Structure 1
Amino acid sequence: MKACIIGAGFIAAAHVAGYEKIPQVELCGIADIRAEAARALADKHHCRAYTSALEMLQKEKPDAVSVCVPTHLHREAVCLALEQGADVLCEKPLALAMEDAIAMRDTALGCGRQVMTAQVLRFWPEYELISQKLAQKLSGSDWGPLLRLDARRIAHSSRGDWFGDPQRGGGALFDLLVHDLDFVVSILGCQAESLYATGHQNALGGWVHVNALLTWPGGIQVSLEAAGDMPLGYPFTMRFRADCENGCLDFTSQSLQNIATAQQVSSQLFCVEEGQARPLDPGTFPEGANGEAFHRQIRAFVTGVEAGRLPIPFEQSIYGMKLIHKIRASLETGCKMILDDI
């Protein structure tokens, strides 16, 4: 299988590392309009550099393409790769505008190809263990019903103006909260009933700190916090807790940089049941849980391309984007949103 990457930034490097660990994949090209960035990453990994994605796709004819460019450029890159006959792994968030997400879906259908959003939490060792353990406990009766999910993703901004620009990066709402919202959808499904959100905007109008409360059938409450405006030096922090009537799962991780490049400074996952808390061990990973997660994500994508069925249903990604837009509507209006129309 031949693979190419559009984009040569820090997240592209994580995709490169994932492809290189899969024997049946030949990484053959990296394209970026910044010639030096494309050349540096390509030379490091012994493949060809391009400044034109179209030229790369036409010359290399890849089976799989990772799209790792800023969010406002996703639609153009994804549709181009699909039209050139490749299946696509697109970095999150899928898009800033719903019409862009719909256009990607329609292009994939029209070309007979597939698109998968790179929601790396689904492949993160601790989050995978949480998902498996919660499903196991909820299939029985000893933990009782699920009451609430609580997720937080807190960081300082280190990516310049594009991250907080609502027209390019979308701020914490699109870049950070989308991680945990997708993980919640993977657990609870596409059935949210209502939501309400509060937050803080930067000078550009981007939502850089968001708190959202959503409800699912059965009275399940979901609380989400995403922050990209913390003081410089604040550790990148991920937290997730699932509360049942008679049991609980709790995960906290802090790193010095960001989700893709940093080693964890501290990480703890524990389970509370029968009146006791005990640690859960997701395993030991030489390159850290973050490196393992990106490798698992790429492996799952490659396996899905080979099988003709990708592991993350694209309609779940579309649904997640609809929820993000409803959260933004709540932020802008100060109103509770009833979700009977999505």
Structure 2
Amino acid sequence: MKVAVVGCGTMGNVHGTDYHRMPGVELTGVCDLDRETARDLAGHLQTKAYFSFEDMMAEAEIDAVSIALPTNLHKEYVMKAADLGKHVICEKPIALTLEDAEEMIAYCQKKGVRLFIGHVVRFFPEYADLKRKLEAGVTGEPGVAHLKRVGSHPGTVKDWYNDFDKSHGVIMDMMIHDIDFARWAYGEVQEVFALNRRSEEQDYALVTLRFAGGAIANLEGHWGYPGAFATAAEFAGTTGIIRLNSRETDSLKLLRSSAAPAGARGVQVPKSPSYQDPYYYELEHFLACIREDKEPLVSAEDALRALEIVLAALESVRTGQPVRLPLKGGVTG
């Protein structure tokens, strides 16, 4: 399969690098308005650099294209690619508004192309293992979850993150990972309450999700954290708690409330080996879905639902009140 990448920043580099080493895949071009950035990545990956989307799409052989651009440009370039009959793999979040996301999904369907959105946390082995254990009922009936994701402020590297109109801040761009995972684990969200404080150096948010099934999830996100990037998750149910923490060597732990042998400290699952690349798994999966015409682990409609929850959180921040879902007018799907 022949693929190309639009946007040669951090995520474009990730996509391009994984395509370059993927069997049965040919990276036919990378594109960026910054000529030096495009040339550097193309040289590293032994492909051709383009400085115009239109030139690349006209000259290169392409079956699918990765869109790794700032969020405010997703709709424009997804629809341009669909116009040319190319399948699209777009980085999360799908868009900044429900209207844009709905239009993107409908337009790709109309043009007969697949649209995949990169909610990559579902492909992290430790998170996938956590989801399997929850499905197996190891913690009993769902209760309360806590998810945390903290790291440096990306605005120190790419200025567009500092423009709220383009990025919508930490809830939209980073916490959406945990929002999608929490929904995957606990089902549909019924109500959202959020707090958010932003400055030039810091963007900190707390979001509480109330699920239709009665479970609760508390999410914490922080841009500007002074330490290393870190994630954590804890899901508590009626018979136990399951935890993961990227700071710990044994990243996934299950604590059962039932009787255990004397001295037992719970079942511990080793941290995923460092060579496991969830982005590689994700892209490989999406391309397989195109080849085999199968449904993806995360759909464009899933991305739409995650966006709706983010927008409800931002509305709660604005009003200081809980926000019920679905949002006014509902969502497609």
2:190 equivalent to 1:193? yes
1:282 Cα deviation after fit: 5.3
What is the identity, as a one-letter code, of the residue corresponding to 1:295? Y
Whether 2:272 is the aligned partner of 1:272: answer no
- The CA distance in 1 between the partners of 2:72 and 2:249, in whole Å, is 33
Matches within 5 A, 1:71-110: 71-110=71-110
Q: How big is the shift at 1:132?
A: 1.0
Following TM superposition, where does structure 1 have runs of at least 4 consecutive aligned residues deviating by more than 6 angstroms? none
Distance in 1 (alpha carbons) for counterparts of 2:4 and 2:323? 41
2-side partners of 1:203 and 1:44: how far apart?
34
Match of 1:248 in 2: 241
Deviation sequence 1:224-279 (CA, Å, 0-9, x none):
11111323xx111101111111111101114xxxxxxxxxx856211112354231
Q: Distance in 2 between matches of 1:282 and 1:147?
A: 25
Aligned to 2:293: 308
The answer as to whether partners of 1:28 and 1:48 remain within 8 angstroms in 2 is yes
Give 1:305's aligned amino acid.
I
- What's the counterpart of residue 33 of structure 2? 33
Q: Residue type of the partner of 1:229?
A: G
TM-score, normalised by the number of residues in structure 1 = 0.88
Secondary structure of 1:93's aligned partner = coil
Give the structure 2 partner of residue 177 of structure 1.
175
> C-alpha distance in 2, partners of 1:267/1:4?
37
Q: Which secondary structure does the structure 2 equivalent of 1:301 belong to? A: helix
Q: Offset at 1:113? A: 0.8
Could you say what secondary structure the match of 1:218 adopts? Answer: coil
Corresponding residue for 1:320?
306
Q: Tell me if 1:217 matches 2:239.
A: no
Alignment length (residue pairs):
319
Identity %: 26
1:116-195 → structure 2 map (5 Å cutoff): 116-137=116-137, 143-160=139-156, 161-189=159-187, 191-195=188-192
**TM-score, scaled relative to structure 2:** 0.90
Contact kept, 8 Å, 1:147 with 1:245, in 2: the verdict is yes
Give the distance between the partners of 1:238 and 1:27, measured in 2 at CA.
32
CA RMSD after TM alignment:
1.9
Q: Given the alignment, which residue of 231, 234, 249 partners 1:238?
A: 231
Distance 2:213 2:8 in 1: 45
Q: 1:340 to 1:13 in 2, by over 3 A?
A: closer
Q: Deviations over 1:94-115 (max 9, x none)?
A: 1122222122112201201111
Deviation of 1:308 after TM superposition, in Å, equals 2.2
The alpha carbon displacement at 1:299 in A equals 0.8
Cα 1:83–1:61 change in 2 (3 A) is farther
The answer to whether the 8 A contact 1:58-1:84 is kept is no
Q: CA deviation at 1:202?
A: 2.5
Structure 1: distance between partners of 2:131 and 2:205: 24
